[in-house]
Amino acid sequence: MSLFDSLVVAGMPFVPKKLVRHFADPYIAGESLQDAIDTVQRLNRQGICATIDVLGEGITRKEQATRAVDRYIQVVEAIEREKLDANISIKPTQFGLGIDPAFCRDNYRRVIEVVKPYDNFIRIDMEDSPFTTLTLDLYEDLVKEYPRIGVVVQAYLRRTLHDIESRLAPVKANIRLCKGIYIEPHEIAYRDFDIVRKNYILLLRKALEAGMYVGIATHDEMLVWEAYRLIDEMGVEKDQYEFQMLLGVTESLRRQIVQDGHKMRVYVPFGQDWYPYSTRRLKENPKIAGYVAKDILGISRK
């Protein structure tokens, strides 16, 4: 990332919200449930399935969590009504993990009760490190009650290898493997780009060897290639993995993976609480950060 782009990323909180929204548009389906349905239908027509995320996180009042649960129930019903090839992803802090873990668990249970007759899948997203253990505990409690549930692990965390070996592999957990998006202290997280990549490959191999189902969530072509290699070398069956990408990111690589005959799932976020998610995406995309700065400065884009 150039110095200019780094400055833009550092200055993101001062970028007008309207402009952030403009540049973040490709990353979110829209503000309404209908926007999410339209996006998923478009993806389904391309042979791609989806996971729907109702935007929102880090809530501080129980009523906010209760509203999020109601919204997710509407999503589950829409998936069935519209016959979408999609499941849901839920952030634990949106269901109140930061307020009270028992309350959060009960909120997931409310959604599980609605999902159960449809036998659809629920993914528990992974957030920053104060919530890692609590989220794994939550997963372990819920999967005993409803097996169609999975969790996320982050390759940048030093603890993840141990978490897979000691907690997730023994129960053949269904995981999404990603690099990790939050800013974490060096004591607990690898910061070096190559080490995170190498750890990702190690974790992927461990998980596949253990017979776990893996959502290979990355836009990093080198990791996609490494995943292809492992799938080939280990003779991994198609029902043991899928690739996953975020809406609006590396669509040409996405098309390539689908053409190569692999299952692809796209993360489709929607809702009014788009700001934190959007700024995380913009910070990951140095080019877009540059566009934002140029737009503010009135420099035309080439």
Ligand X SMILES: Cc1cc2nc3c(=O)[nH]c(=O)nc-3n(C[C@H](O)[C@H](O)[C@H](O)COP(=O)(O)OP(=O)(O)OC[C@H]3O[C@@H](n4cnc5c(N)ncnc54)[C@H](O)[C@@H]3O)c2cc1C
Q: Which are the catalytic amino acids?
A: 125, 176
Residue 293 sits in the site that holds ligand X (CB under 6 A): no
Stretch that binds ligand X, among 62-70, 234-242, 246-254, 270-278 (CB under 6 A): 246-254
SS3 state at 178: strand
Q: How many CA atoms lie within 13 A of 111 on its CB side?
A: 32
Q: Which of residues 248-267 bind ligand X (CB under 6 A)?
A: 249-250, 267
Q: Is 87 in the site for ligand X (CB under 6 A)?
A: no
State CA 195 to chain mean position distance.
21
Pick the closest to residue 277 from 33, 43, 26, 107 (CA basis): 26
| Closest distance to ligand X from the beta carbon of 2 (Å) | 14
Q: Considering the rule CB under 6 A, would residue 126 count as an interface residue with ligand X?
A: yes
What residues form DSSP beta bridges with 178?
Answer: 154
* Minimum distance from residue 117 beta carbon to ligand X (Å): 26
| Contacting residue, 138, 168, 179, 254, with ligand X by CB under 6 A | 179
Rounded-to-10 torsion of CA 130, 135, 140, 145:
150
Q: Token pair for residue 81?
A: 């009504």
Looking from the CA of 206 toward its CB, the CA atoms found within 13 Å total 22
Asked if residue 279 binds ligand X (CB under 6 A), the reply is no
Q: Is 219 in the site for ligand X (CB under 6 A)?
A: yes
Determine if 220 is a binding residue for ligand X (CB under 6 A). Answer: yes
Q: Which is nearer to ligand X, 65 or 177 (CB)?
A: 177
Taking the least distance from each CB to ligand X, the nearer of 39 and 154 is: 154
Contact 268, 50 (CB under 8 A): yes
Smaller CB separation from ligand X, 105 or 254: 254
CA distance 188 to 176: 20
269 binds ligand X (CB under 6 A): no
C-alpha span between 30 and 36 (Å, rounded): 7
5 CB neighbour count, 10 Å cutoff: 19
The reply on whether position 92 binds ligand X by CB under 6 A is no
Q: How many residues of this chain bind ligand X (CB under 6 A)?
A: 23
Residue 181 sits in the site that holds ligand X (CB under 6 A): yes
Q: Which is closer to ligand X, CB of 116 or CB of 276? A: 276
CB atoms within 10 A of CB 152: 20
Which residues contact ligand X by CB under 6 A?
Answer: 125-126, 152, 154, 176, 178-182, 217-220, 244-246, 249-250, 267, 281, 284-285
